[in-house]
Amino acid sequence: MDDPHAPELTDEEENSAALTERRYREPEPPEFATSRGCQLLDEISLRILEIRLALLVATEDVSLRLDDFYPRLAALEVLADQAVGAARLLLLDADLDEAWGSLPSRPQAVFARHKAAVTRGSPSVFPVPSSLRHFNSAIRTIASQATGPDWRARPQCPAIIRDGSRQCSNGVLYLGDNAFASGCFSHATEAERNRHRQHQDDRNEANVEASRIAHLAMTGLGRIIAEGWLRRRHEPGSLFQLINQPDGPFRLEDMEEAGKAAPAD
């Protein structure tokens, strides 16, 4: 690193050189994201999703309870989704409020800084959601097809309570197909109560079916992912092969080869 022919610098000169360098470095380089960077982060979010889906089918080959993975993966999914969103905000050159420090911002801080800029009048930028978020909303749609209307939106029961003091405070029974009973469970007719029970049974059955279909969709994908991983494991150049080659994973010529393949910048 040091040039042996360079004249030796006094401490003072060295300090002043360091100062000049520091001054030269200001202002901070603009925050940025390349589209390659956005794609890479989106792929990282998909790798985390792949782990979740592969875990679903791993238990077909090993009798272990692997539930502890899911909350941790869910936390990683949130981080990855935020990273994609923040990178896309940078790619789209969204206005950001001043950074709080000189280090690059965390994804959440980029969102907060953009929100602050918007409250000061900058245009709102809406980055395309990550592929992971697309997947999760698609699965939610499949799994929630049978939930029906919001039960909290039921009209209030019109009956007067037994002591005659006020109107019943319960909601009326929902009978399915946007129909409501004439009263709550206590004040509806026997026929309405039966129709309500039938509707609940139908809906439970439909919900069970919807989650079964969502689970099938996810395990189907999990199988495709697991098979792909196991196939690539034995292909030359796979991480497994690199790690297990006789002279270890960090062969100089491999790294030089990888260095050549990397883009010039």
**Which residues would be at the binding site for Zn ion (CB under 5 A)?**
157, 159, 168, 170, 183-184, 187
- Choose among 143, 141, 130: nearest CA to 46: 130
Nearer to Zn ion (CB atom), residue 106 or residue 154: 154
Nearer to Zn ion (CB atom), residue 138 or residue 191: 191
- Choose among 56, 99, 105, 107: nearest CA to 78: 107
CB of 189 to Zn ion, least distance (A): 12
How would you write 194-230 as a 3-class SS string? HHHHHHHHHHHHHHHHHHHHHHHHHHHHHHHHHHHHH
Nearer to Zn ion (CB atom), residue 104 or residue 155: 155
Beta partners for 180? 174
Cβ–Cβ < 8 Å for 173, 181? yes
Instruction: Please give the backbone phi and psi of residue 6, each rounded to the nearest 5 degrees, phi first.
Output: -70, 140
CB of 46 to Zn ion, least distance (A): 51
CB of 180 to Zn ion, least distance (A): 12
CB of 184 to Zn ion, least distance (A): 3
DSSP conformation class of 157:
P
CB of 165 to Zn ion, least distance (A): 14
CA angle 200, 203, 205 (to 5 degrees): 110
CB neighbours of 37 closer than 8 A, spacing ≥ 6? 87, 91
Nearer to Zn ion (CB atom), residue 56 or residue 184: 184
CA angle 161, 155, 202 (to 5 degrees): 105
CB of 192 to Zn ion, least distance (A): 12
Q: Cβ atoms within 10 A of the Cβ of 220, count? A: 13
CB of 198 to Zn ion, least distance (A): 20
Nearer to Zn ion (CB atom), residue 114 or residue 195: 195
Nearer to Zn ion (CB atom), residue 106 or residue 199: 199
Nearer to Zn ion (CB atom), residue 58 or residue 161: 161
SS3 67: coil
